[in-house]
Each structure stands twice: as structure tokens, then as C-alpha cells.
Amino acid sequence: MILEHGDVGAKVENLQKLLTAHGHDLDPDGWFGDETEKAVIRFQRKNGLFVDGVAGPATFQALSHHLDLKALTEVDIKNSATRLNVDIAAIKAVTEVESRESGFLESGLPVILFERHVMYRQLPADTRSIQAASFPALVNSKPGGYVGGESEWRRLKRACSIDREAAIQSASWGLFQIMGFHWAHLGYASVSDFSEAMHRSEGDQLAAFVKFIQKDHRLHQALQQKDWATFARYYNGPAYRRNQYDTRMAAAYQRHNEMERIV
């Protein structure tokens, strides 16, 4: 469940009651307005959570006294900002716009998307056509076949029975959907080392994103300069304008920058 500014209803009222129980003086009116957002920000900051003013799974778990040890934290964000020499608000803006709502599924497995056309390229040239004829849903020169969610893991496990390393390299992983075939380029010891990192935490998934940015001077420079159009063009491709990635990141940066001043 995710609640944010502007939401209304019984779920917001319950959130307000939970925040009140933690010492925040709120009227449980069922409206997620400015005061509720400020209370969420203060609670997240006090508990070391990723501060974004949005009440998501990690915030609700903390409100219920059950911290999610895999969840992205404010320390993760600050460390990433330091490594990239950028504003904390810049990291948060990219995380808000470019990442998925969660890096993990309800089962505890990292979020993945298996790319059958990448699997086709990763297999040896003398076997890919044979495998494509036998398993077109898993090995194919054309993208597609996506089923989403937990079902993507069924596709990956079937692909692992063909070639484990090729299969892991053919999936995008975690919050930022980093492709497995980048493992060596990003400095991981092996494809298994990369996979294990993606299983550990959203902080480790963010660390992979940081490595990805560090390896691309154009992306790194654009992020440091808060040149959102250039960043979006190189990160998302030419369709970035249609999806308004640049304007969304600019707006998110402004909001997170203002949020840093709330005490």
C-alpha cells in the first residue's frame, strides 16, 4: 500500500492514527494534506528510512514496529550522493522517477524482468537457433513474452535450466532494473556475485545503479549538473520526452530539495 499527498479515505485516517501514536499531533480526518506529509517526513527521518514524504511499505512496517531490513534507507541515499558528488535531492529525484516502487516482490525475491531477446544474444552462436526453436518463449530474437511479477521468476528459472549464467545476465534486476550482463563492467566478481547483491537489499540495488552512473561520464556529469533532459536522454533513450522523464525528475528534485528543509 502506498499513500501520498492528496489521498483521502479510511486508509489515510489509519495512517494518521499510527503517526499520532508515534507522537505526531494529527487530526485523523482522512485527508493526506501538508501536515500529514510533514509528519511522515519527520517519522521517516527519525527512523532512518528513505525520506520522501510518501507512506509506503517500509514506512508502514516501521510504524508497526517491524523494520524492513531490505528497504532503502536514508543512509543509503546519503552514501550514494557522496559517492557521486551530487545533491541528496538529485539521488532521490532519480530514485522516485526511474525506480520501481519496490525492489522486492512479496515473496522476498528481487523484482526482475526476463528479456528473451537478450538470452538469445547471450547464448553461443552455434546453439541459440536450436534453443530458440525449442523454447521460443525464453530464447527469441525478438523481445516480448513478459508476464510480470512472480511469474518472471518462473521464466528465469526455466531459462537457467538452459544456461544459468546467460539467464541471469538476460534479466534486469531490482529497483533500477540493471541488466545482469553489466556485472563485469560494474566491477562484480561474477554474475553470481551480482545476483547475490541484488538479493540482499534495495541499498545494494542502489549501489549497482551508482556504479552504472560512475561508468558513464555523460550520465554522471548530467546528474551533477542537474541537466535532467540530458540525463533522461542517455538513461531512457529517445522516448524520454514522450514519457516526460526530464520534467518529472526536475519536479521531483524541487520537491525533495524543499523537503530537506522540513524539521
53 assigned to some structural domain: yes
181 assigned to some structural domain: no
CATH for 54 = 1.10.101.10
51 assigned to some structural domain: yes
Which pLDDT does position 101 carry in this prediction?
77
186 assigned to some structural domain: no
32 assigned to some structural domain: yes
pLDDT interval class at 263 (50, 70, 90) = low
List pLDDT tens digits, range 105-117: 989 999 999 999 9
The answer, as to whether pTM is greater than 0.75, is: yes
Q: Of the given ranges (141-150, 233-242, 244-253), which has the lowest mean pLDDT?
A: 233-242
Local structure of 133: helix, strand or coil = helix
145 assigned to some structural domain: no
The domain total for the chain is 1
DSSP code per residue over 161-220: TT-HHHHHHTEEETTTTEEGGGTTTTT-SSHHHHHHHHHH-HHHHHHHHHHHHHT-HHHH
Which pLDDT does position 189 carry in this prediction?
97
- Owning domain of residue 43: 1-68
List pLDDT tens digits, range 206-217: 999 999 999 999
20 assigned to some structural domain: yes
List pLDDT tens digits, range 17-71: 899 888 888 988 999 999 999 999 999 999 899 999 999 999 998 998 877 778 8
Which pLDDT does position 64 carry in this prediction?
85
44 assigned to some structural domain: yes
pLDDT interval class at 234 (50, 70, 90) = very high
CA distance 3 to 6: 9
Say if CB 187 and CB 215 are below 8 A apart.
no
Average predicted confidence (pLDDT) for the chain: 94
- Indicate the pairing of strand 178-179 with strand 171-173: antiparallel
Residue 7 scores a pLDDT above 80? yes
CA distance 228 to 223: 7
Say if CB 105 and CB 150 are below 8 A apart.
yes
